[in-house]
């Protein structure tokens, strides 16, 4: 690793003080963007989606669990798949800690994947996750939310992801979708975040961004896929070549 310039205490102080202005600029910009996000228009949800859960079939309204706000993380897990998406697991590792607070702030957070529940639960148990993980296998939910795609959509170039049509795509991709439910029962789609948008939920990145070596994403993918493993799999194997689709690369930020 290249060592940065070593200076006197006075020069160090002045350089870091100057950089602090940039940090504050970023913080204030992030707050302005978040405020703008909350002012975006909503879309009424008109389909009656049904999900497979550990408590039996539930509708989208049931996933709110009595709260008015619902955040869904779309985990890449296709029916019959033996591949475990390390990047999705990296996000999922940060959910349970946040959930202890979100459920007391009128927010329910649910993870949804397209694989049947019987395929999801053994993996959930292995990883030690406590969050609600449900299956959208029997509904159009993933396809309507533009995180899953048919062969026809991919072949014809009609698959829309992150508000654009990627040059190439996978049948399933990650993302976060937010809903609001009024007391009368109407549900609205208020926001969706795709591609690198889920990075903001990964607390480990905040630590790495302050560390001298940074994220260490210097391999062929230029993303977390250069180094992230399942948390019980570090040191056990090398990176799989097919670990992550091209459409999640930096160009889709």
How would residue 2 be classed by pLDDT, with cut points 50, 70 and 90? Answer: confident
- The predicted structure's pLDDT at residue 29: 97
How would residue 186 be classed by pLDDT, with cut points 50, 70 and 90? Answer: very high
- The predicted structure's pLDDT at residue 198: 86
Choose from 25-39, 78-92, 164-178, 215-229 the range with maximum mean pLDDT: 25-39
The whole-angstrom separation of Cα 237 and Cα 233 is 7
- The predicted structure's pLDDT at residue 240: 45
The two beta strands, 132-135 and 107-113, are parallel
Q: Which helix (H) or strand (E) holds 111?
A: strand 107-113
How would residue 84 be classed by pLDDT, with cut points 50, 70 and 90? Answer: confident
The whole-angstrom separation of Cα 221 and Cα 206 is 20
- The predicted structure's pLDDT at residue 8: 95
* Range 81-97 average pLDDT: 93
Quick one: how far is CA 115 from the chain centroid? 17
DSSP code per residue over 177-227: EEEEE-TTS-EEEEEEEEGGGGGGG-HHHHHHHHSTTTT---SSSSSGGGT
- The predicted structure's pLDDT at residue 39: 97
Question: What fold characterizes domain 43-200?
Answer: Glutaredoxin (3.40.30)
* Range 50-74 average pLDDT: 97
Every domain of the chain and the residues it spans: 43-200
- The predicted structure's pLDDT at residue 238: 53
- The predicted structure's pLDDT at residue 166: 81
Q: Which has more confidence, 109 or 230?
A: 109
Q: Give CA separation, 136 vs 78, 116, 176, 183, 245, in Å.
A: 10, 8, 15, 25, 21
For the cut 80, the answer to whether the pLDDT of residue 168 exceeds it is: no
How would residue 35 be classed by pLDDT, with cut points 50, 70 and 90? Answer: very high
Q: Give CA separation, 132 vs 62, 77, 204, in Å.
A: 12, 15, 22
* Range 15-26 average pLDDT: 96
For the cut 90, the answer to whether the pLDDT of residue 56 exceeds it is: yes
* Range 88-94 average pLDDT: 96
Q: Count CA within 13 A, CB hemisphere, residue 192.
A: 18
């Amino acid at each position: 690793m290249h060592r940065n310039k070593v200076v006197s205490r006075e020069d160090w102080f002045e350089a870091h003080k100057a950089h602090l202005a940039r940090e504050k600029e970023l913080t204030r910009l992030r707050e302005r963007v978040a405020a703008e996000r909350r002012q975006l228009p909503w879309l009424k949800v008109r389909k009656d989606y049904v999900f497979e859960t550990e408590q039996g079939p539930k509708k989208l309204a049931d996933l709110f669990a009595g709260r008015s706000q619902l955040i869904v993380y779309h985990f890449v897990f296709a029916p019959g798949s033996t591949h475990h998406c390390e990047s999705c697991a990296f996000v999922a590792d940060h959910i349970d800690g946040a959930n202890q607070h979100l459920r007391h702030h009128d927010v329910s957070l649910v993870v949804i994947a397209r694989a049947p529940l019987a395929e999801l639960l053994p993996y959930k148990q292995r990883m030690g996750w406590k969050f609600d993980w449900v299956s959208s296998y029997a509904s159009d939910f993933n396809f309507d939310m533009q995180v899953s795609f048919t062969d026809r959509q991919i072949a014809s170039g009609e698959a829309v992801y992150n508000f654009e049509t990627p040059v190439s795509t996978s049948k399933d991709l990650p993302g976060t979708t937010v809903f609001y439910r009024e007391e009368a029962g109407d549900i609205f789609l208020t926001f969706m975040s795709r591609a690198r948008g889920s990075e903001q939920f990964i607390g480990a990145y905040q630590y790495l961004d302050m560390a001298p070596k940074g994220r260490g994403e210097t391999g062929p993918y230029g993303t977390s896929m250069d180094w992230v493993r399942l948390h019980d799999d570090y040191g056990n194997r090398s990176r799989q070549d097919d670990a992550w689709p091209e459409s999640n690369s930096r160009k889709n930020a």
